[in-house]
Structure 1
Amino acid sequence: MTPPSFTPTPTAAKRRPRIAFWVTFLALFLAIGGWSIVNPAMASPDEPAHAVKAAATVRGEFTADESEYNAGRGTFEVPELFAQVWNLTCYAFHPETTPNCSPGISGDLSAPSESASHVARYNPVYYTIIGLPSLLPIGAETLTLMRLASALLNAFLIALLVRTIFELRRPFWPLIGVVAATTPMAIYIASSMTPQGPEIFGAMLTLVVLLAMTREPDEGLISRRMWRLVIGAAFFVLARGLSPAYLAFIVVIAVLVSPRWSTVWDVIRNRRIWPQLGLCIAASVGAVVYTLASGSLALGIVLPEPGLTATQVVTRMLRNTDYYFEQLIGVFGWGDTHLPIWTQMLIVCLVGLVIIVGLAMGTWRERAAVAVVGVATLIVPIAVQLLSYKESGLVWQGKYVMPIALAAPILAGFFAERGPMTMGVAKRVAPFVVGIAGAGQVIAFAVNTHRYVNGANGPWTALIEGAWLPPINMWLALTVEILVWVGLTVAVALATRLPDGGESFEPGVPALVDARYPDGSGLRTGADEGEHATPADEDVAPASAEQGVHSADPLPASSDSVR
């Protein structure tokens, strides 16, 4: 007996993007926040420096006393808590050592004190946000609250990204691409005090919005898409010194893969988006000016090698490619906690699946774009180190190039959406991909927690003598992580049963096409925005319905305009 089919109402389909936003935001905040709470204090590389910088920035200290240090490293006056954070890293680089070696936090934690930071010149925007919890009564929990502020910001960026995808007529291959790009390393970074979180997810949001605007131009969605672009580009470009260059790369790639370059020009000429476009340009120019004026590219901590040559730099970095690649997937702690090789292979297979399908369905220009991203992921680190190795030595980490590298599966996901076959496959594959990716995330969480509780090579079935325990029950935390990813898998499975925008479409064609302009030059706005329909609009409506053209889910401009 065939079970009855699920036929949702058009209203249910319209609400899908909004529901996707809230489900993603709450679920990802729980998942990322779990890492933030379970990890011991200062478990992320350079987290003490970021904590000191945040506490100083939110108190109005934007420059440090660098008289005793290298350029880029200096002393701030901060509460005593932030002077003690440097004492909490005794387990760093020692995977068998648990955080019980730490002397702990004591004394008057609110008393003024001095503490150093080697990110003293970094852009203050991110630090102002995560530093806000430090203005509350100071305690040991302050550090966790600052992490959670960062987790909240990153979950918000991810939720905006997912909502943008679910506003597409055919969202599931792009969603698969984003899921593949969100590696355990990305989630781990999102849970820590570091501007790399909003840099990574701001880059992903920026790319997704640009691809949505050029591949499915929609006058009814253009305003909210542009506000999301402002948010994504701002957090992206204001994160670190290299971010403006990364943003320029992402924009160029998005333009080059536009199915119709005339669409890009049409978007730029649209006066409705000029204010938001101006804000994006202002943020980018401001980031470049700040970087040049402050000298934020200066490395506060350097490891110079006097005899190092340019040839040796290139050779050693090429030899380290496998380790840099591993860092894109998942190397936790201070580079001392690694995922099992079979888990890494699982994640690589997911990314490879998306890229292979995207290359198969893409045009030669689109295939070239994916190749350019791959080459840039390899070449950019070498180029950056060649510019600074004499002063800094080899300090590059693979995670530094994630804003570029993670663009490859996202691009491939958008390219894979062509043709009725791939759409049908996407609906079947999407829940499976989310489930497998979720399993990888849970395994990463368990491996990371085990490293701190019993040490990297400690037993899995019993606590060692002197085991470290996180501030919340670790089994409860693991259960929450499992439930989050199972819930997201179920949510995606349910979403695949909702109607979409049709079995096939041509990228670059406006989503709302007026039948009076079959070439796509006329975008319907009035009737689709809820205004009074003219007789001509009424004549067009039935034809549009027969053609499978969907209607956007307009929201009031004054509320929820960016969600």
Structure 2
Amino acid sequence: MRSVRSVLGRVPAGLRRTLTTRSTLVFLGAWAALLLVSVGWVVASPLSSGPDESGHVAKAVGVVRGQLWGAPTDRPGVTTFRVPADVGAVGGGMTCFAGQPDRWAACAPSPDGSSTATTTVTSGVGSYDPLYYALVGWPSLVLHGEHSYLAMRFLSAVLGTFLLAIVFWVAARSTRSRLLATGAAVATTPMVLYLGAVVNASGLEVSGTAAVTALGWSVLHGRDRPARSETVLLAVAVVLTASARTTSPLFVVLVLAALCCTVPITRLRAVVTDRRVWGAAAVAAVLVLPALVWTVAVALPGGYIPSSDPARPGRREAVWHSFWSLGAYGRGMIGVLGWQDVQLPEPVYTGWTAGIGAAVVLGLARIRRAWLPVLLLSAGVLCLPAVVQAGSAHEYGYIWQGRYGLPVLLALVLVAVALSGRTTFRTVSPVPLTAVLWTAAGVGQVTVFVMAYHRYSVGVGGPWDVMWRGDGWQAPHGFAPWLTAVVVGSVGLVVVAVLAAHRRETDGASTVVDIPVDTGVARVSGCRSAN
């Protein structure tokens, strides 16, 4: 303890105050807890077991070697990359268990970390924006084999959990945002944390949308003048999210439009004319421009991983198929792991579906102004599969998977819960509900982790005792340390969420804008000073 104090004593006073504020401590605690859960997934998932992970790894390894989109092939949307064999050859035998839930991962060979050969690898994501892949692919320049692969996963997890932790940071900064910590329990489905722990740009898109939603809410509903830290982080989150996938810019615009509908026009005008907001928006626009140019020039002609099903339906058939498949897409947003071959226990699907439905209904029932943003985001969740596939199914087949709509669903839950909290929890503390929801979510996350490990260790129908004895496929150092990491991280999330949702007497010490969204009237209320 004395050494910690001595270190803090050498930190400049301003930075020391920032590092020890309640919101910063909540953020660091949330980041650590989320990262613990993610590390469990990083190591305890077999190599190339993430959805289309072999193609994403090939893209990342190629991008850091100057191959931004790869060499074209005669198949639409498919390109090739020339990469080192020790990390590039993650398809083929490495995916021997993909799509076969009864086959465990022991059939996959280990990457040869001593090989100096190169190989040509095909990828369906060559047209994706290269920013995410440049951020996570550089370990392949200095590491080899399995270590390189796990390092890329770890960087993806660090980036994703940082963005998710921003939700807790926003919740801890103001009583008008603390319900975000409660809603995050429902919004953070098992698929959210799983996607962030494999090499896949969808993970960045999901976590980035969560950060954009929370920061956008804080800027609109927080202080009279948005804090510089919020506007800067919002600009960063927008740039990262909009650069993730072909549909990412559309998701960012949809979420920001929905958030703007949650405040009266007078408040919206005051925010958008603020100099800090304008400055951050200008910087974000400049940095997002390359992503938009890439989307139009490169991604739109390709943009999707072609379906392995040879059928190429027409527009009307694609629209009908999309709406008919909404139930399957909903399960995918909660969690269908791996190469669409790891189903979750039915109670997990039922519990998260009930939580999501309750959040949306509560928002609509309590707030008159909630119908427009909730309707807008709900339409995004329900109609985007049809819109995307109507224009692409004739060339790529049915390419939509449930996880593609997860960013909009996550934003929908956060916005609905935050809106309902403006009236529901004005006098009642949300702490008990937050504790219950995060405890239930933690149990669900641990259950999903154990079920997924069992599938890869011995297959879906394999005996459970074999997995616990250490036979079958095993992660490095066995199952126990990574299960422990997931359990400890899940418990930590309960504690951090309760701290973020807890209301202190000094939370509203400064003058803030109180926006009763049910009446549409903005008023300024001066809060008493903290003593």
Asked if TM exceeds 0.5, the reply is yes
Contact 1:226 1:273 in 2 (8 A): yes
Contact 2:67 2:81 in 1 (8 A): yes
Q: 2: CA distance between counterparts of 1:52 and 1:262?
A: 49
What is the CA-CA distance between 1:14 and the residue it aligns to? Answer: 8.1
What is the CA-CA distance between 1:269 and the residue it aligns to? Answer: 1.6
Is the aligned partner of 1:251 residue 2:256?
yes
Q: 2: CA distance between counterparts of 1:157 and 1:184?
A: 16
> Which residue number in structure 2 is paired with residue 30 of structure 1?
36
> Which residue number in structure 2 is paired with residue 561 of structure 1?
none
> Which residue number in structure 1 is paired with residue 139 of structure 2?
133
When structure 1 is superposed on structure 2, of 112-121 and 44-53 the one drifting more is 112-121
> Which residue number in structure 2 is paired with residue 59 of structure 1?
65
When structure 1 is superposed on structure 2, of 170-179 and 197-206 the one drifting more is 170-179
Contact 2:312 2:395 in 1 (8 A): no
> Which residue number in structure 1 is paired with residue 384 of structure 2?
380
When structure 1 is superposed on structure 2, of 311-320 and 191-200 the one drifting more is 311-320
> Which residue number in structure 1 is paired with residue 151 of structure 2?
145
Counterpart residue identity of residue 263, structure 1: R
Q: 1: CA distance between counterparts of 2:322 and 2:529?
A: 50
Is the aligned partner of 1:508 residue 2:518?
no
Query: Given the alignment, which residue of 343, 350, 365 partners 1:345?
Result: 350
When structure 1 is superposed on structure 2, of 380-389 and 420-429 the one drifting more is 420-429
What is the CA-CA distance between 1:381 and the residue it aligns to? Answer: 0.6
Is the aligned partner of 1:312 residue 2:354?
no
Is the aligned partner of 1:321 residue 2:303?
no
Query: Given the alignment, which residue of 468, 492, 497 partners 1:492?
Result: 497
Q: 2: CA distance between counterparts of 1:386 and 1:211?
A: 32
Is the aligned partner of 1:187 residue 2:193?
yes
Cα distance change, pair 12–246 in 1 and its aligned pair in 2 (3 A): closer
Contact 2:187 2:356 in 1 (8 A): yes
Cα distance change, pair 265–139 in 1 and its aligned pair in 2 (3 A): same
SS at the partner of 1:113?
strand
Counterpart residue identity of residue 253, structure 1: A
> Which residue number in structure 2 is paired with residue 355 of structure 1?
360
Contact 2:44 2:475 in 1 (8 A): yes
Contact 2:470 2:478 in 1 (8 A): no
Q: 2: CA distance between counterparts of 1:241 and 1:446?
A: 33
Contact 1:72 1:296 in 2 (8 A): no
What is the CA-CA distance between 1:308 and the residue it aligns to? Answer: 2.7
Is the aligned partner of 1:210 residue 2:185?
no
- Root mean square deviation of aligned Cα: 2.7
Is the aligned partner of 1:336 residue 2:347?
no
**Per-residue Cα deviation, 1:411-453 (whole angstroms, up to 9, x for no partner):** 1121122247555241221111111111111111111111111
Cα distance change, pair 384–485 in 1 and its aligned pair in 2 (3 A): same
Contact 2:31 2:162 in 1 (8 A): yes
What is the CA-CA distance between 1:382 and the residue it aligns to? Answer: 0.5
Q: Which has the larger radius of gyration?
A: 1
TM-score normalised by structure 2 residue count = 0.89
Cα distance change, pair 80–303 in 1 and its aligned pair in 2 (3 A): closer
> Which residue number in structure 1 is paired with residue 402 of structure 2?
398
> Which residue number in structure 2 is paired with residue 426 of structure 1?
430
When structure 1 is superposed on structure 2, of 12-21 and 267-276 the one drifting more is 12-21
Q: 2: CA distance between counterparts of 1:264 and 1:100?
A: 56
Q: 2: CA distance between counterparts of 1:13 and 1:415?
A: 30
What is the CA-CA distance between 1:37 and the residue it aligns to? Answer: 0.7
Counterpart residue identity of residue 449, structure 2: F
When structure 1 is superposed on structure 2, of 169-178 and 490-499 the one drifting more is 490-499
Contact 1:416 1:422 in 2 (8 A): no
Q: 2: CA distance between counterparts of 1:13 and 1:80?
A: 44
**Per-residue Cα deviation, 1:440-477 (whole angstroms, up to 9, x for no partner):** 11111111111111111222233499611111321221
> Which residue number in structure 2 is paired with residue 15 of structure 1?
21
Contact 1:175 1:413 in 2 (8 A): no
**Per-residue Cα deviation, 1:382-406 (whole angstroms, up to 9, x for no partner):** 0110101111111211111111122
Q: 1: CA distance between counterparts of 2:387 and 2:179?
A: 33
> Which residue number in structure 2 is paired with residue 118 of structure 1?
124
SS at the partner of 2:62?
helix
Taking the TM superposition and a 5 Å limit, the aligned residue runs for 1:164-243 are 164-219=170-225, 221-243=226-248
> Which residue number in structure 1 is paired with residue 443 of structure 2?
439
What is the CA-CA distance between 1:98 and the residue it aligns to? Answer: 0.6
Q: 2: CA distance between counterparts of 1:203 and 1:369?
A: 15
Counterpart residue identity of residue 499, structure 1: E
Stretches of structure 2 that go unaligned for 5 or more consecutive residues are 1-16, 517-521
Cα distance change, pair 249–263 in 1 and its aligned pair in 2 (3 A): same
Q: 1: CA distance between counterparts of 2:401 and 2:214?
A: 25
What is the CA-CA distance between 1:200 and the residue it aligns to? Answer: 0.9
Is the aligned partner of 1:95 residue 2:101?
yes
Q: 1: CA distance between counterparts of 2:32 and 2:70?
A: 37
Taking the TM superposition and a 5 Å limit, the aligned residue runs for 1:508-547 are 508=515, 520=524, 544=526, 547=527
Structure having the higher helix fraction is 2
Cα distance change, pair 306–197 in 1 and its aligned pair in 2 (3 A): closer
Contact 1:123 1:240 in 2 (8 A): yes
Counterpart residue identity of residue 285, structure 1: L
> Which residue number in structure 1 is paired with residue 9 of structure 2?
none
Q: 2: CA distance between counterparts of 1:297 and 1:194?
A: 20
Contact 1:435 1:486 in 2 (8 A): yes
Taking the TM superposition and a 5 Å limit, the aligned residue runs for 1:455-466 are 455-463=459-467
> Which residue number in structure 2 is paired with residue 389 of structure 1?
393
When structure 1 is superposed on structure 2, of 270-279 and 409-418 the one drifting more is 270-279
Is the aligned partner of 1:283 residue 2:287?
yes
Cα distance change, pair 300–435 in 1 and its aligned pair in 2 (3 A): closer
What is the CA-CA distance between 1:264 and the residue it aligns to? Answer: 2.0
Query: Given the alignment, which residue of 273, 280, 291 partners 2:277?
Result: 273
SS at the partner of 2:462?
coil
When structure 1 is superposed on structure 2, of 378-387 and 133-142 the one drifting more is 133-142
What is the CA-CA distance between 1:490 and the residue it aligns to? Answer: 2.8
Identity of aligned residues (%): 26
What is the CA-CA distance between 1:12 and the residue it aligns to? Answer: 12
Cα distance change, pair 198–507 in 1 and its aligned pair in 2 (3 A): farther
SS at the partner of 1:45?
coil
Q: 1: CA distance between counterparts of 2:238 and 2:446?
A: 30
Q: 2: CA distance between counterparts of 1:44 and 1:176?
A: 29
Cα distance change, pair 135–454 in 1 and its aligned pair in 2 (3 A): same
Cα distance change, pair 248–492 in 1 and its aligned pair in 2 (3 A): closer
Q: 2: CA distance between counterparts of 1:125 and 1:345?
A: 36
What is the CA-CA distance between 1:155 and the residue it aligns to? Answer: 1.0
